[in-house]
Amino acid sequence: MKFKLIIDKNAEEEITAVVHEASSLTQQIETLVRSHSGTDSIIGYREDEIRKLPFQEIECITVVNRKVTAIDRNGIQFTLKERLRDLEEVLPSYFIRINKSSLANERRITKFHTIISGGVDAVFRCGYREYVSRRCLSEIKRRYERK
């Protein structure tokens, strides 16, 4: 198999794959290409500050006081203008749903912590904790078993 990547800022982006037959790999490549929005950050708002938040620096995106909020690697909360379901479509595949109102950066989760009531919290590098629903936990377990 050959691989060729040409980076030219002046050319129109195009991805072409020549294969003998479709496979799970070609389906994954197609999904990745179609889901990529061409951006790797989002704009966050905080008091009098507007900041570009790179996806890899976001720990968690959750709803706080009915507003979509991104928590960065320092634990600082930024309000986002996008809706959670719209963000789910443009975020990279390492963002996973952990409950009805939260998406987590899987790479920034340090551990899952069980609590006395039988629930589970995701603990992030910045110290932020967010509840993991049972429904989402089973999907997360399946995802980790595949790796």
Burial of 133 (0-12, 13-18, 19+ CB in 10 A): middle
Q: CATH assignment of 41-146?
A: 2.40.50.1020
Residue 58 to residue 75: CA distance in whole angstroms: 9
Non-local (6+) Cβ contacts of 102 within 8 A are: 60, 61, 62, 63, 130, 131
Tens-digit pLDDT string for the chain (147 aa): 777 878 777 877 777 888 888 888 888 887 777 666 567 899 999 999 999 999 999 999 999 999 999 999 999 999 999 999 999 888 988 999 999 999 999 999 999 999 888 889 999 999 999 999 999 999 898 888 876
The ranges assigned to domains in the chain are 41-146
Let me know: does 3 contact 17? Beta carbons within 8 Å: no
